[in-house]
Chains A and B, each alone.
Chain A
Amino acid sequence: MFEIVERQELAQGTIVSNWIKAPKIAVKAKPGQFVILRANETGERIPLTMADTDPEKGLINVIYMVVGKSTALFKTLQVGDSYRDVIGPLGAATHLEKVGKVVCVGGGTGIAVLHPITRGLKNIGNHVFAVIGSRSKDLLIMEDRMRAASHELLICTDDGTYGHHGFVTDKLKEVLENNKDIGLAVCIGPVPMMRACCNVTKGFNVKTLVSLNPIMVDGTGMCGCCRVRVGGEMKFACVDGPEFDGHQVDFDELNLRLRSYLPEEKLSYDMFKSAHKCSCGS
């Protein structure tokens, strides 16, 4: 059992942060890696990136958006409750490299995934520009932690309630125009955002890492559910990734496969919501 020792609701309760007791994972985890969690015996195996770790206290931090049944179930877990299973660290760690100047772009909960990578890039001596964005000011997460993890932080909101009024791609373009010597971009967020960022960086010929989030089951390369097409080849995101060269990724195929279970997900979420109406409000 993996106990929750700290819990916070962010972005008006649409996003939840958990610090979980998982000492063995905490000492091993590297930026870019994820865990698979299961709330209880009947639960699904859900992949979430580690947004942070505290190896001394034996804790890992996951930050997730409530989008369906399983994440809504996670949201009902309070401090002192436990996840039944936490498996990891999984996935290949980010290859952190000193390239000089880098730009890290995050959207939505992608910021949680981006955070340890940004910090890692800064720690090994890169000059780090960070661009983060959300739909609206209330939905922006981890501003402080991202500020600490970078040298310059730029903020965008779709509705202009905070920072630049517009998409992260606007600021990404600006940073690339003003800094011709940027050697690497890391862009993590919803699929359309990552695709748009890659289109921008392609124009500047800057190598771009993205982190893919296909549906997964085992996370160890056993089932092939997480297959994605990169550079025309089939890759398993759970072991070959989740990070890939964004200019090689077939985003159309990823988008399509993410919709595999729409009717089932809806059924499951609706049943959950009607059963939990009174108790938790999610």
Chain B
Amino acid sequence: EKIPRQQMPEQPADVRRHNFDEVPLGYTPEQAMKEASRCIQCKDPRCRQGCPVEVDIPAFIKCIKEGDFEGAIRKLWEKNALPAVCGRVCPQEVQCEGLCVLGKKDQPVAIGNLEKFAADYQRNHGRDVLPPKAAPTGKKVAVVGSGPSGLTVAGDLILKGHDVTIFEALHAPGGVLIYGIPEFRLPKAIVASECRYLERLGVNFEVNAVIGRSETVDELLERFDVVFLGVGAGLPMFLKVPGEHYIGVYSSNEYLTRSNLMKAYDFPNYDTPLVRGKRVATFGGGNVAMDSARTALRMGAEKSYIIYRRGREELPARKEEIHHAEQEGVEFMLLSAPVRFTGTDDGFLTGVECRRMELGEPDASGRRRPIEIKGSEFMVEIDTAVISIGSSANPLLTKSTPGLALNKWGNIVADPKTGKTMKPRVWAGGDIVTGAATVILAAGAGRVASNSIHDFLTFGW
């Protein structure tokens, strides 16, 4: 008898839109084992080709099926330092699950849910043993930035016996995982637990360290044998339309940082405020936009719109996020682009004028290009706007670091096979190299760099 894909139990939409608790509740061990038994253990697993870090998917799933949950997490850790995070946030439908053979006729194996299960089980029930560490090498590594790429580099190299210090500009480590992705999608306790684990292995964390200001990369190179740069793509882009200065217009970085890192949702218990809009529009169609629109609902919005200039097919967010957003009541205004914001004399946002778009020929990105329809302007009444159209490289560090090669967007040029930059003893990876991408790509870049750094520290190349 065929077993159907196990549904992930979730908080009901009308309940969760009012709280910041995690949406999926997680598989029970029985459900996980049942789901794992769906995998046919392909000899040449397609799923694995879809995973950027080539997790041995059939092997970890086999462990779950047999109830060996510790074996499962060990298999995952071989390739992926952050399974609790990736199981939750990877765009599985275009990666591992997208290629699973079962997906041809039926639904693919729920690889992400199983990965999340294995990691959560270990965190909550697992034996608390630290992996063996190689003898100290006396070599010192500085990791700048504590997002997924930096955490991966630190975790890999500490086990190989090197002395590792992470420098983080904000007052808490985790990168986008802590300041960007909301609590209801990735509980901060999980990120904190990953960081604590590294700390117990011996990684030093120096928060409040803005490299480029507190200390330069060249100064770090005097104290450390190598430096890894994983500073992300943290510079917010604005729409560049009139009225962006009105009170209530946020970049998604600001909106999410206020609510996640500074816990504005718990104002006034926490001191940082955030405009609690009743009618919120988020501009953009990626994960960041979905996170902002869903945060707005939880902050008390009666209306939360996504305004996106292309169509539904083109929305770049994970399918699950779009689905969850819709369930919770986010309204999508597709094929619409903002023209200008309007506000009161004392500066409060009152609305946005938009223009309808139609799709033309595919552009360089392969997606159909939006074209304005003349005379199609319309007004939307809003009191909060969140601009979520992407982010680019923050020049703070790169400007103060001579010898790095940058591309025309300001990203650091690094060899994709090693993570080496043009500057001796400096490696880089993650969003600062690729531009805004994904957690698993950043973690994968961290793994590539840590292998290369280890070779350099051991053999000198």
Co-assembled chains A and B: yes
Give residues in A with beta carbon < 8 Å to B: 24-25, 28, 38, 42-45, 69-70, 73, 84-90, 217-225, 227, 229, 234, 239, 253, 256-257, 259-261, 264-265, 267-268, 271
Give the interface size class of chain B. Answer: 35 or more
Q: Mark B253-289, 1 if CB is under 8 A from A, else 0.
A: 1100110001100011111110100000000000000
A223 and B208 contact, CB distance less than 8 A: no
8 A–B pairs (Cβ distance < 8 Å), ordered by A: A28-B215, A85-B208, A87-B210, A218-B170, A222-B257, A223-B251, A223-B257, A268-B268
B269 touches which one: A42, A84, A223 (CB < 8 A)? A42
Interface centre among A38, A217, A224, A264, by most chain B C-beta atoms within 10 angstroms, is A224
Chain A, residue nearest B216 (CB)? A28
Chain A interface helix/strand/loop/mixed: mixed
Segment with Cβ contacts to A, from B122-130, B231-239, B325-333 = B231-239
- Say whether B251 contacts A224, CB under 8 Å: yes
Q: Tell me if B458 counts as interface (CB < 8 A to partner A).
A: no
Q: Which residue of B lies closest to A268 (CB)?
A: B268
Q: Do residues A221 and B235 form an inter-chain contact, with CB atoms below 8 A?
A: yes
**In the bound complex, CA of A28 to CA of B240 (Å):** 35
7 closest A-B pairs by beta carbon, nearest first, are A256-B347, A264-B273, A223-B254, A44-B271, A224-B251, A222-B234, A87-B208
A42–B271 touching, CB < 8 Å: yes
* Set B238, B254, B269, B347: member contacting A217, Cβ < 8 A: B254
Q: How far is the CB of B70 from chain A (nearest CB, A)?
A: 34
- A267 engages B347 (CB within 8 Å): no
Q: How far is the CA of A38 from the CA of B261 in the complex (A)?
A: 13
On whether the beta carbons of B169 and A89 are closer than 8 Å, the reply is no
**B residues in contact (CB < 8 Å) with A:** 169-171, 207-208, 210, 213-215, 234-236, 238, 240, 244-245, 247, 250-251, 253-254, 257-258, 262-263, 267-273, 275, 346-347, 394-396
Smallest distance from the beta carbon of A267 to chain B beta carbons, Å? 6
* Cβ-closest chain A residue relative to B170: A218
B169 touches A220 (CB 8 A): yes
In the complex, the answer to whether B262 meets A88 with C-beta atoms within 8 Å is no
Given contacts A44-B272, A220-B169, 19 further A-B contacts (CB under 8 A): A25-B214, A28-B214, A42-B269, A42-B270, A42-B271, A45-B171, A73-B271, A84-B171, A88-B213, A220-B210, A222-B394, A224-B250, A224-B251, A225-B251, A234-B240, A256-B247, A256-B346, A257-B347, A259-B347
Assuming A45-B262, A87-B171, A259-B346, is B271 touching A70 (CB within 8 A)? yes
Report the separation of the CA atoms of residues A70 and B273 in the bound assembly, to the nearest whole angstrom: 12
Contact between B347 and A89, CB atoms less than 8 A apart: no
Does the CB pair B271–A43 fall under 8 Å? yes
* Chain B neighbourhood of A225, CB < 8 A: 250-251, 254
A218 to B347, CA, bound (A): 23
Contact partners of B244 in chain A: CB under 8 A: 227, 234
Contact, CB under 8 Å: A220 / B394: yes
Contacts of A88 in B (CB 8 A): 210, 213-214
Which of these, B207, B214, B245, B396, contacts A256 with CB under 8 Å? B245
For residue A260, which residues in chain B have a CB less than 8 angstroms away from its CB?
247, 275
Nearest CB on B from A11, distance (A):
24
Between A69, A70, A90, A221, the greatest number of chain B beta carbons within 10 A of the residue's beta carbon is seen for A221
Taking a contact as CB atoms under 8 Å apart, the answer to whether A69 and B396 are in contact is: no
- A260 CA / B125 CA spacing, docked (Å): 46
Contact A234 B238 (CB under 8 A): yes
Shortest CB-to-CB span from A43 to chain B, Å, is: 5
Q: Name the one of A28, A38, A268 contacting B171, with C-beta atoms under 8 angstroms.
A: A38
Given the interface pairs A42-B263, A87-B210, the reply to whether A259 lies near B236 with Cβ below 8 Å is no
Q: Give Cα A259–Cα B248 distance, bound, in whole angstroms.
A: 11
Q: In the bound complex, do residue B394 and residue A44 qualify as a contact, i.e. CB atoms below 8 Å apart?
A: no
Q: Which partner residue on chain A sits nearest B206 by CB separation?
A: A24
Nearest residue, chain B, Cβ from A89: B213
Are the C-beta atoms of B235 and A229 separated by less than 8 Å?
Answer: no
A221 touches B394 (CB 8 A): yes
Minimum distance in angstroms from A91 CB to a CB of chain B: 8
Alpha-carbon distance A42/B273, docked complex (angstroms): 12
Distance (Å) between the CB of A273 and the closest chain B CB? 12
Please determine whether A257 and B275 come into contact, CB atoms closer than 8 angstroms: no
Residues of A within 8 A of B269 (CB): 42
Chain B residues in 8 Å Cβ range of A234: 238, 240, 244
CA A73 to CA B170, docked complex, whole Å: 21
The one of B247, B254, B347 that contacts A224, using a Cβ cutoff of 8 Å: B254
Smallest CB gap from B258: residue in A:
A217
Q: How far is the CA of A236 from the CA of B263 in the complex (A)?
A: 23
Contact among A70, A85, A224, A261 for B253, CB-based, below 8 A: A224
Q: Tell me which residues across on chain B come within 8 A of A223, comparing CB atoms.
A: 236, 251, 253-254, 257
Chain A residues with CB under 8 A of B235: 221-222
- CA distance in complex: A234, B238 (Å): 10
Nearest chain A CB to B222 CB, angstrom units: 14
Docked complex Cα distance between A146 and B395 (Å) = 35
Inside 8 A of B240's CB, which chain A residues have their CB?
A: 234
A220 CB contacts on chain B under 8 angstroms: 169, 210, 213, 234, 394, 396
* Contact of A218 (CB < 8 Å), options: B169, B214, B245, B270: B169
Q: Which residue of B lies closest to A43 (CB)?
A: B271
| Residues in B neighbouring A84, C-beta threshold 8 A | 171
- A25 cross-chain contacts in B, Cβ below 8 A: 214
Closest to B234 in A: A222
- Chain B neighbourhood of A73, CB < 8 A: 271
Residues of B within 8 A of A264 (CB): 267-268, 273
Q: From A250, which residue of chain B is reached at the shortest CB distance? A: B245
CB-based nearest B residue for A255: B347
